[in-house]
Structure 1
Amino acid sequence: MPQLKTFPGLQGADFMHPWDVQATASLKKVPGFDKLVAKVMEYSFERVYYLQNTADNVRVTPKMFPKLHRYLEWGCKILDIDEPPELYVTLDPAYNAYTYGHTKPFMVLTSALLDVLDEREKLFVIAHELGHIKCEHVLYTLVAENLAVLLEAVGRVTLGLGSLIGAGLALPLLDWYRKAELSADRAGLLAVQDPQVALSVFMKLAGGAESLLADMDPSEFLAQIRAYEDRDVSTLDRAYKLLITVLRTHPFPIMRAKHLDLWVSEGGYAKLTGLDDQTMAAEPAPDPEPS
């Protein structure tokens, strides 16, 4: 069975998407952002959500969902994360996974998402969430998830300036949120070390009806990406793309696939990992283990 390569000394900056780096720098310059970050720490949102999570969801341990626990340990070993975060499964019909908390992050996977993923795809998703921790996204995620409450609090102590701060912050924050996902996708690929696994996850996120999974075709999905990119023929089309994207927290799955494929095809993935160049059209390898 093939062995997965580990990356001792890996830093988040080693694989962060350039758009993520740029969006993070821009976000720090937004007036009032430092006040919102301070309020996050003051209000202890992290503790409230942690208690709610432990009361409502099932924690993954060596004896509870042991395969998921093994994937968590593998992801931490590959990405050089010393202390594995707590991982939970929640009963939810939506395809979703998220990481929450700054001083003590925890990760949550929904039951619906787990139902449609195979074993290697589960490792990809877990490592994606670990990527958010590795890239230190979680503090800003706390701000994004609690923006309305934070703006109200800031408004009370700034004589109503909270609404003005919000007007200038919401869109940059959502822009950062989307671009942070591109870095986390790279962490997922570093863990599974097979672009085909990543592409399969994106296909399922886009249209993975369980009864149709066997009929999904990766080459057709990549063709769909090209068709979407071709719709930049007019200023109006570009404006429509902006409008349908600007309020989303996550990029469209086809765009996530495109950016990850570019990292592979342009050599960034191979340069970091020392692994042979691959493409998302490659045949999937057998289930591996970390060396």
Structure 2
Amino acid sequence: MAKLKTLPGLTAADFMHPWDVKATAALKAVPGFDKLIAKVMEYSFERVYYLQNVADNVRVSDKMFPKLNRYLEWGCKILGVDKPELYVSLDPNYNAFTYGHTKPFIVITSSLLNLLDEQEKMFVICHELGHIKCEHVLYTLVAENIAILIEIFGKMTLGLGSLLGAGLALPLLDWYRKAELSADRAALLAVQDPAVAMRVFMKMAGGAESLLDDMDSSEFLRQIRAYEDRDVSGLDRAYKLLITVMRTHPFPIMRAKHLDRWIAEGGYTKVSGIRAEPLRI
């Protein structure tokens, strides 16, 4: 790892993506959202997920996967986040996620870890720490349980609640995708190397493990710009909306585009220079 720096006094507002800020405000303004939040807490989804996770996965510590534990501790120091629990799950899917509002914990799948080098693993861990830093985790619980909650509301209100809940699903998914852009910025502030971020997105977009040596980051950046150019017609823009609207995460290429733009426009340099101090390990 290169010599890393901490960012004392860093706040989520220093780096949050404006789309995330706007989508969060829009979500809070949706009628019935406060009731949805109340039901999440009432039905204790957080506790259920935590117990299931502890029973099914392996917790990272200074003796269990010590490198991952080190990356977690470095990320917490850099971003100013209390250390959450971190788990590794045996899973063929490339995934990492954070659950829990009162006691957040992070889970990373074994397949994703197998795909990434050491710096890239830290990027993924710090992406999840970014969700905690930005206080995304409560809304994430709602997003993950939206279908169950709509069914509960429907039974309680003879179907009316289902209609109200369905109206929340799209703005909630919209927020979910845009929250990812803020977490990507947090991860970059932690690993402090844009090339690492681009490699993660490239691998998540098409990283066959046997072909990693044949991947080229500069070609991936060219592909990003080609995708941007497809906004030439209203029909292309409509197609982009249709293939995105029900996703929980933006396409990897779009995440790379937004982070690349933040770097190019000077946002990353501005924030990463805030009272930077050497990381004491």
SS, match of residue 68 in structure 1: helix
1:58 and 1:89 in contact (8 A); partners too? yes
Cα distance in 1 for residues equivalent to 2:167 and 2:273: 42
2:149 and 2:165 in contact (8 A); partners too? no
Instruction: Look up the match of 1:19.
Output: 19
| Displacement after TM superposition at 1:199 (Å) | 0.2
Instruction: Look up the match of 1:75.
Output: 75
Letter in 2 for 1:185: D
Instruction: Look up the match of 1:117.
Output: 116
Instruction: Look up the match of 2:94.
Output: 95
1:225 and 1:254 in contact (8 A); partners too? yes
SS, match of residue 86 in structure 2: strand
Instruction: Look up the match of 1:278.
Output: none
Instruction: Look up the match of 2:254.
Output: 255
Structure 1 segment 13-92 matched on structure 2, within 5 A: 13-81=13-81, 83-92=82-91
1:155 and 1:161 in contact (8 A); partners too? yes
Structure 1 segment 93-172 matched on structure 2, within 5 A: 93-172=92-171
| Displacement after TM superposition at 1:10 (Å) | 1.4
SS, match of residue 139 in structure 2: helix
Instruction: Look up the match of 1:218.
Output: 217
Cα distance in 2 for residues equivalent to 1:233 and 1:190: 33
SS, match of residue 63 in structure 1: coil
Structure 2: give runs of 5+ residues left out of the alignment: none
Cα distance in 1 for residues equivalent to 2:157 and 2:78: 46
Question: 1:233-272: per-residue Cα shift (whole Å, max 9, x none)?
Answer: 2111111111000011100111100100111110111111
Instruction: Look up the match of 2:244.
Output: 245
Count residues in correspondence.
277
Cα distance in 2 for residues equivalent to 1:29 and 1:79: 29
SS, match of residue 76 in structure 2: helix
SS, match of residue 50 in structure 1: helix
Structure 1: give runs of 5+ residues left out of the alignment: 276-288
SS, match of residue 3 in structure 1: coil
Instruction: Look up the match of 2:5.
Output: 5
Letter in 2 for 1:228: Y
SS, match of residue 10 in structure 2: coil
| Displacement after TM superposition at 1:124 (Å) | 0.4
Cα distance in 1 for residues equivalent to 2:149 and 2:166: 13
Cα distance in 1 for residues equivalent to 2:215 and 2:47: 41
| Displacement after TM superposition at 1:2 (Å) | 4.1
Cα distance in 1 for residues equivalent to 2:153 and 2:70: 43
1:290 to 2:279 alignment: yes
Letter in 1 for 2:279: P
Cα distance in 2 for residues equivalent to 1:65 and 1:103: 25
Moved more, 224-233 or 69-78: 224-233
Question: 1:117-172: per-residue Cα shift (whole Å, max 9, x none)?
Answer: 00000110000000000000000000000111111222233332221112211111
Structure 1 segment 190-209 matched on structure 2, within 5 A: 190-209=189-208
1:268 to 2:257 alignment: no
Cα distance in 2 for residues equivalent to 1:103 and 1:9: 23
1:24 and 1:176 in contact (8 A); partners too? yes
SS, match of residue 231 in structure 1: helix
Letter in 2 for 1:62: D
Cα distance in 2 for residues equivalent to 1:154 and 1:2: 51
Moved more, 173-182 or 224-233: 224-233
Q: Identity percentage over the alignment? A: 80
| TM-score when normalising by structure 2 | 0.96
Cα distance in 2 for residues equivalent to 1:267 and 1:181: 20
| Coordinate RMSD, CA, aligned | 1.2
